[in-house]
Amino acid sequence: MRRCLSATSQLSSRALRRSFASSTALARSDDDAAWHAAQACRLVLVSTDPAEKAAALGVELGEDLEQVAVRSHAALNVSGAPSQVLDTAPARPEKPELVYGPFQRGNHSLPQYLLHSLAHIELNAVDIYAHTVAAWGPGGPKHEAGGGSALPPQLWLDLARVAQDEARHYFMLERRMRAIGSFYGAMPAHRALWSHAEDTNNDLMGRLAVIPMVQEAHALDSGPRIDERLRSCNDHASADVVAQIVQEEVDHVSVGLRCFQTASAAQGLDPVEAFHGRVRQYVPRLLPGPFNEALRSLAGMGPEYYKPLQSPPRRHLDKPRQRKQPKQPRRKPDAADA
């Protein structure tokens, strides 16, 4: 792992303890822990290097969220005002080049390409979950007015732990990429992933529906297929990394589902109907199958959530569309027809 940590991340534990001791002692309640976790998530959004983002969440140091709370409290002076942090795209490294359209993998192997794509997804997930907790979590500008107070502190801690997991997943993939001769930033990546956060910037239930319940649930469907493709390339070590990540994503879907159900209950809404409404609003192409019903069931997501939203199958490329023959212009009668 690269050691490109900011000055804040490099503070010694002794200095952190002195800084924190001069302030109010940290209570060990879920309320205070969730508040401090939200501040750590603010640091994620202003950190450029992936290692800095991970350090803000305590991943590199192996800290739990309570230890992160102490460290983030000492670093609040560099995180900026909440509105400045939350109204702009998160800080990102210079590479990879972000593009909207498709791109060729060039000379990169299929395993390198697949791992790079997954690492990019995981890093975006770190930012999106951090933004969600920082914006709607305790102390966030949208906590009261935006409906964040409907979720108890423990659920906000669960969402912050998901951000920790995503950072850890990123570095699992990054280490494996280096082992096979590549690195994050070696090829372009899609710019559109952050658009899911922008689309749901003022809708907590929309954010919960689109990110954990649609995007992460889709990873349960596609992950095993990626596993198989890697094994077909005889890259079993990379496939093992992907398999571990997919299993851990089950809990992420479960956390998102519990949060969505809690937010729905606070508004007197049926969670299934509310989910269908948000998906139709933010995901116009709906949900592509086939679904991994076994993994979705482990996450607590029954088929009533996703099967009614399955998108129609795409036209097979080996069956070209029949084109209508152009109409022949009508011939004007001439003297011979008289």
Cis amide prior to 290 (ω within 30 degrees): yes
User: 287 — phi, psi (to 5°)?
Assistant: -110, 120
CB 211 within 8 A of CB 128: yes
Q: Would the pTM of this model clear 0.85, i.e. be above it?
A: no
Distance CA 66, CA 63 (A): 8
User: Which helix H or strand E contains 52, and what residues bound it?
Assistant: helix 50-56
Tokens of 254: 């479960």
Domains and CATH numbers, the chain: 100-309 (1.20.1260.10)
The 10 Å Cβ neighbour count of residue 47 is 28
Please tell me the predicted confidence (pLDDT) of residue 1: 35
CB 37 within 8 A of CB 157: yes
CB 135 within 8 A of CB 83: no
Chain Cα centroid distance, residue 213: 11
Distance CA 191, CA 285 (A): 19
Please tell me the predicted confidence (pLDDT) of residue 18: 32
- Residue-by-residue pLDDT tens, the chain, 338 positions: 333 333 333 333 333 233 323 333 333 477 888 888 888 898 899 999 998 898 888 875 556 665 655 555 544 444 444 555 677 789 889 999 888 877 777 799 999 999 999 999 999 999 999 999 999 999 889 998 888 999 999 999 999 999 999 999 999 999 999 999 999 999 999 888 889 899 999 999 999 999 999 999 999 999 999 999 999 999 999 999 999 999 999 999 999 999 999 999 999 999 999 999 999 999 999 999 999 999 999 999 999 999 999 998 765 433 444 555 555 556 555 555 54
Please tell me the predicted confidence (pLDDT) of residue 298: 98
